Structures are given as structure tokens and as C-alpha cells.
Amino acid sequence: MKITLRPNLYFGIIFCLFLNSFNSFSQSNSKSLKKAYQDDFLIGTALGTQHILEKNAQADKLIKEQFNAITPENIMKSEVIHPELHRYNFDLADKFVAYGQKNQMYIAGHTLIWHSQLPRFVYKIQSADSLKMFMEDHIKTVAGRYAGKMNSWDVVNEALNEDGTMRPSIFYKLLGEDYIKMAFDLAAKADPNAELYYNDYNIEQPAKRKGAIAMIKKLQASGTKIDGVGIQGHWSINSNNIKEIEDAINEFSALGIKVAFTELDYTVLPNPWDLKGADVNQNFEADPKMNQYKDALPDSVGTKLANRYSDLFILFLKNKDKISRVTFWGVNDGHSWLNGWPIKNRTNYPLLFDRDCQPKKAYNAVMQLKSGQ
Ligand code: XIL
């Protein structure tokens, strides 16, 4: 008896020690996205006003534990920071920057020139000269104020149409394509140390990607400083675009610039444009088919989301030498803009943390990729 028990006992002790060390490794690693990915790329999140003001202790703890990069979700957009021609409102932006500095986070500015969320006075501008004056004053004042504190700026946001041509925004209509160069040059002058990014959605898709590459090449040829491209990454769990994303990483990186994923989320709900043949006059808000997980996320959908994130992060890790940052567009599911867009008052589940700031299956899937190393 004794002779047969002993080897089992030794084996048991060794096995327990092994399990213990494995557990403590995976536990310490499983606590934090930013720690798990510290040798790969930055892991960011978008902060809303409540996060900047540290109103919610649970979310605040989560942000500090999990993320090492922050982007302001809305408060640096021109309608907030520059509401009137001669009035700036730096209150929240100052607090946002202070939050990042206090917590030693990478601070990404979003965004200097964008056709959306513009102050009302800009929509009224009719001459090229006045618009140019707005751009000069805006970029000099905003990027200048935070010079030396920001790590990067999304200098121009969403300048392209889906076919890769220039979007007919107020900037394009009054100033032509030159406004892009103008914006980057002004930003470089106002803050010579910040990395300057062009940011857009769907630029992983071939036609729009081609337009972005042509635009970036033109900037480079004219001697303008551009350091990176931000692929927003607002995707659906029903889209299968890993190949396009990989092609985009390689093609953008071949231009000698950094690639960041700046606004990552996966909607689990249908979009109106997914429904081919849908009656455009249909009232989507009232249609329960458009909000089918009102009470809870079914396990199968949670798994599908986890698989999407897992495939994506496998690709990110494969290309980590080209990727500077991966930022989620929001802290947790309850905070996500996808509860209100493109249809109001829905219950969406696009991120890694649930409404109680608890890690979801998708979080575990992303962490799992690093647990074996
Ligand atoms: C969104 C915010 O998340 C919302 O709160 C706001 O109402 C609208 O804008 N592309 C961008 C982001 O570059 O600034 C947008 O953020 C989402 C799409």
C-alpha cells in the first residue's frame, strides 16, 4: 500500500504546485487587458463625461485597471470645445487631459476637423476665407493648448465616401481637397510632438481604402507630416471582414505610417441597412425585431461575439509590429453609443464588459490568447 501511494502522493504534490503556479499566472494576467497586451500594443477606451469626472467608482476602477490609452468620446469635438466663433469651452477637455496624465495614459485627441458635431456657426459659413479662418483659429487654439500633453490627434475624421472619393463636406465644398493638407500642416505647427492621424470608418474595405491610400500618399509627397491611420472598427458580428482588415493593415503600414484601431465595437443587433428590401418608412424603434435582446444577451450570441473578438485579436497579434493601439469605443455595454445609434433606445452588447462592468465571454476570449505565453 505504502509503496503504491507514495508515487501518487509525490505526483499529487507536484501537480498541485503546477496548477497553483499556472493559476496565479493566469489570474494575474487575466486581471488586465493592458498588462496582458503590454508588449504588443496599447489598449484604449473612449471616455464619456461621467468617466472624466470620475462619477462612477466601478467604471473608474475598470478604466484604470484595464486600459492605458484614452480618447474623449465627444468633449473635444468642435461643437463642444468651440461652441461659438469667439468662445472656447475647455473645462471638460482640461479635465480629460489631467485624467490621462494622472494615470499615465496615452492621450489621443479626437478630433480637429470633422463634418459632424460642428458648432452651428460653422454650418453658416459661406466663403472659403471664413472657413479657412475657422480652421486656423480652431486648430491653433485647441491643439496649441494641449501641445506637449497629447500623444496623438485625429486631425481629420471621415473625409471619404464609401467609393473612395472625397466626401462633399462643407470643408471640401469650400476649400477643395487642400483642406486636408491644411489641417495636417496646422496641427503639426500647433503641436509638433503629437502623432498626427487620419481617422475613418470602413477604410479596411477595398474602394475606400484605395481612396485613403491615395490621399495619404499625396500628403506625404507634398511634405506634410502624417504619422498614422486610424481604422475606426465599427463592425457587426455578422460581418466577416478579417481578410480586408489584414490587407488594410499591410497596405497602410507599407506607406510607412502606424495603424491604430481607434473605435472598436461589434454590434450584435441588426442595422436598418442590413435588411435588404426593408421598408424605409418602417418605424424601427417600435420594431421588436430590431431590439431582440432587450432583457439579456443569449449565450449563443455572446459566444459569437467572443469568436469575432478572438479572430480579430489573433490577427492583431500577428501584425503587432504594425499596430500602435487598439481602442474600444466605450467602457462597457451600458455606455456604448450603439444603444442609441442608428436606432434609439436599444439594448446592445458590443464591448468586452457588461452593464455591471463585469468581464464577458468576449473578454475571456481576448485574454485567453495571451494566457499561454
Ligand atoms: C459618436 C459618440 O459615441 C456619440 O456619443 C455621439 O452622439 C456621436 O458620435 N465615428 C466617430 C466618433 O469618429 O466620434 C463617433 O462617436 C462614432 C463614429
Q: What is the pLDDT of residue 341?
A: 95
**Does residue 30 line the site of ligand 1, with CB under 6 A?**
no
Sign of CA dihedral 348, 349, 350, 351: positive
User: Is position 65 annotated as part of the catalytic site?
Assistant: no
Q: What is the pLDDT of residue 17?
A: 45
- Indicate the top mutation candidate among 229, 329, 335 to test ligand 1's pocket, ranked by most ligand atoms within 8 A of CB: 329
**Does residue 371 line the site of ligand 1, with CB under 6 A?**
no
Q: What is the pLDDT of residue 273?
A: 85
Q: CB atoms < 10 A from the CB of 271, how many?
A: 15
- Strands 42-47 and 323-328 turn out to be parallel
Contacts of 324 (CB under 8 A, 6+ apart): 41, 42, 195, 228, 258, 259, 260
CA 125 to chain centre: 31
- From first to last of its 373 residues, the chain has per-residue pLDDT tens of 344 444 454 544 444 444 444 443 344 445 899 999 999 999 999 999 999 999 999 999 999 999 999 999 999 999 999 999 999 999 999 999 999 999 999 999 999 999 999 999 999 999 999 999 999 999 999 999 999 999 999 999 999 999 999 999 999 999 999 999 999 999 999 999 999 999 999 999 999 999 999 999 999 999 999 999 999 999 999 989 999 999 999 999 999 999 999 999 999 999 988 876 656 666 777 788 999 999 999 999 999 999 999 999 999 999 999 999 999 999 999 999 999 999 999 999 999 999 999 999 999 999 999 996 5
* Residue nearest atom 7 of ligand 1, based on CA coordinates: 337
Domains of the chain in sequence order: 41-348 (3.20.20.80)
**The C-alpha cell of 110 is what?**
479626437
Query: Over the Cα atoms of the chain, what is R_g?
Result: 23
User: Phi, psi (5° rounding) for residue 328?
Assistant: -85, 145
229, 236, 239 from 365: Cα distances, Å: 27, 17, 18
**Does residue 71 line the site of ligand 1, with CB under 6 A?**
no
34, 115, 135 from 39: Cα distances, Å: 9, 36, 38
Q: What is the pLDDT of residue 15?
A: 46
Q: What is the pLDDT of residue 1?
A: 36
CA 54 to chain centre: 20
- Indicate the top mutation candidate among 73, 156, 160 to test ligand 1's pocket, ranked by most ligand atoms within 8 A of CB: 73
Task: Given the residues 73, 195, 204, 263, select the one marked as catalytic.
Answer: 263
- Indicate the top mutation candidate among 77, 341, 343, 345 to test ligand 1's pocket, ranked by most ligand atoms within 8 A of CB: 341
The CA 44 to ligand 1 mean position distance, Å, reads 16
The CA 74 to ligand 1 mean position distance, Å, reads 7
Q: Return d(Cα 118, Cα 53) in angstroms, integer.
A: 24
3-state secondary structure of 132: helix
**Does residue 263 line the site of ligand 1, with CB under 6 A?**
yes
The CA 117 to ligand 1 mean position distance, Å, reads 9
Q: Return d(Cα 194, Cα 81) in angstroms, integer.
A: 19
| Ligand 1 nearest atom to the CA of residue 110, by list position | 14
Q: What is the pLDDT of residue 275?
A: 74
User: Is position 263 annotated as part of the catalytic site?
Assistant: yes
**Does residue 157 line the site of ligand 1, with CB under 6 A?**
yes
The CA 10 to ligand 1 mean position distance, Å, reads 59
User: Phi, psi (5° rounding) for residue 153?
Assistant: -130, 135
